[in-house]
Amino acid sequence: MNLVVVGAQWGDEGKGKMVDYLSEEAELVVRFSGGANAGHTIKVEDKTFAVHLIPAGIISPGKTVVLGNGMVIDPASMFEELAGIASQGIDWEGRVVVSDRAHLVLPGYKSEDRTIDENRARPIGTTGRGIGVAYGKKASRDGVRVADLWDPVVWNALSKSDREWLEPFKERLASMKVNLADFMMKNQDKNILLEGAQGALLDLDHGTYPYVSSGISTSSGAAIGASIGPRKIDKCLGVLKAYQTRVGNGPFPTEMLVGDDAELAKTIRELGHEYGVTTGRPRRIGFLDLVALKYSGWVNSLDGFILSHLNIYDGFESLNVCTAYELDGETIDYFPANIAELERVKPVLKTFPGWEGKVGDARKWDEIPAAAKKIVEFIEEYTGVPVHGYSVGPLRSETFMKVEPWTVS
């Protein structure tokens, strides 16, 4: 079975934790997009792991993880990350494979990335890790793939400094690289977890362009980035938070900016530890946006949501969710493509009362407070996507599924 997990918002929804949790029943975990601009945090008992390039499934003992051909890989960052988790007791040797069709991020790409963004009329606020440059060179057919390190024509066309930088990584990559299509064919009868990066609203085609990532972060990217056909995908799950966050520039219709909303944003940021894993930047905070969420459910063909961070509202008197936008005096219920329109819209908010008891104490659906269940049911009705699971804290044990994930919908 092939199970896809993607972010249903602007990233940072808790995908890494859910991939770690779902890896327990997976035999392979394949990351299908992105690069070192991603950041996943996984807490296991008293240890906290932060991964950027390596699939989050690596924390589960005995699982094989794959860096797919939809990724762009900085080999220095990758081996540094592997050394870091090894120092925390994770034995990764023999469990990490790399698609030989994945593109590489070379040293000069990072400064080029920063320079491009600084000179943009509309700076995107990139992480400066060379991701966009690598994807750009891939599209223009000027990129360098893992397989190309053993192609004398490509190798000799590289600058001397790039060859010297890459040389120490060649031998290590030689034992890790695979022809991914062949590898996936040979493993097709296994439970395979397909791990996305960023979120649907940062997708190159479906996100808030140009304020997006350069890769495919919707579920359709799983087929391309994992070397399987789209009909091989059995189920798609989208992770969302009970509020919105965003890092970097770009429109954010429900952002909490002024007055009491700004104070609420500060409170949620601290309660939810909303700072970037990769950059450390404070995340922008907004009300849960059901207009954007319904759109995300559609473009990802989601079978179910996994709802995280609802426990952050434990003890609150009330909370708001966005059910429509007001655009130039008209009420709309769709997610506009036009950035100027997205920047002008005002959220139409619906207020729900808080609850007695704690979502954070729940370990099954029946233990969620009644008023919190009303919000979940409203999300399901509005979006047409059922909530299959819950993350009510940072630990594996603070996770439960209402619907069995490893069954075909």
The model's pLDDT over 107-158, given as tens digits with 9 standing for 90+, comes to: 999 888 888 888 888 887 777 888 999 999 999 999 999 999 999 999 999 9
- Whether the predicted pLDDT of 279 surpasses 90: no
Q: Where in the chain do CATH 3.90.170.10 domains reside? A: 241-401
DSSP symbol at 395: B
Distance CA 201, CA 207 (A): 4
pLDDT on residue 328: 96
pLDDT on residue 205: 96
Q: Which residues have a Cβ under 8 Å from the Cβ of 257 and sit 6 or more positions away?
A: 265
Q: Is 347 helix (H, G, I), strand (E, B) or coil?
A: strand
What are the start-end ranges of the E strands in 1-79? 2-7, 28-31, 40-44, 47-51, 64-67, 72-73
Mean pLDDT for 294-306 is 98
Query: What's the CA angle centered on 358, arms 353 and 360, to 5 degrees?
Result: 120
> What pTM value is reported for the model?
0.94
Residue of 44 and 27 predicted with greater confidence: 27
Give the alpha-carbon dihedral of 191, 40, 33, 283, to 10 degrees. 140
pLDDT on residue 29: 97
Write down the architecture of domain 241-401 according to CATH. Answer: Alpha-Beta Complex (3.90)
pLDDT on residue 345: 98
- Whether the predicted pLDDT of 311 surpasses 70: yes
pLDDT on residue 98: 98
pLDDT above 90 as % of the chain:
84
pLDDT on residue 278: 64
Mean pLDDT for 296-300 is 98
Class (C level, CATH) for 2-238: alpha beta
Mean pLDDT for 359-384 is 97
Q: Which residues have a Cβ under 8 Å from the Cβ of 353 and sit 6 or more positions away?
A: 317, 318, 371
Q: Where in the chain do CATH 3.40.440.10 domains reside? A: 2-238
Nearest C-alpha neighbor of 116 from the set 247, 198, 217, 210: 210
What are the start-end ranges of the E strands in 186-249? 192-195, 235-241, 243-246
pLDDT on residue 21: 92
Residue of 376 and 12 predicted with greater confidence: 376
- Whether the predicted pLDDT of 252 surpasses 90: yes
Contact (CB, 8 A) for 230 and 37: no
pLDDT on residue 116: 84
DSSP symbol at 315: T
Res. 175 pLDDT band, cuts 50 70 90 = very high
Res. 49 pLDDT band, cuts 50 70 90 = confident
List residues with catalytic annotation.
Answer: 12, 40
pLDDT above 70 as % of the chain:
99
- Whether the predicted pLDDT of 220 surpasses 70: yes
What sign does the dihedral 6-297-255-374 (CA atoms) show? negative
Angle between helices 108-118 and 131-139 (to 10 degrees): 100
Mean pLDDT for 213-239 is 96
pLDDT on residue 313: 97
- Whether the predicted pLDDT of 44 surpasses 90: no
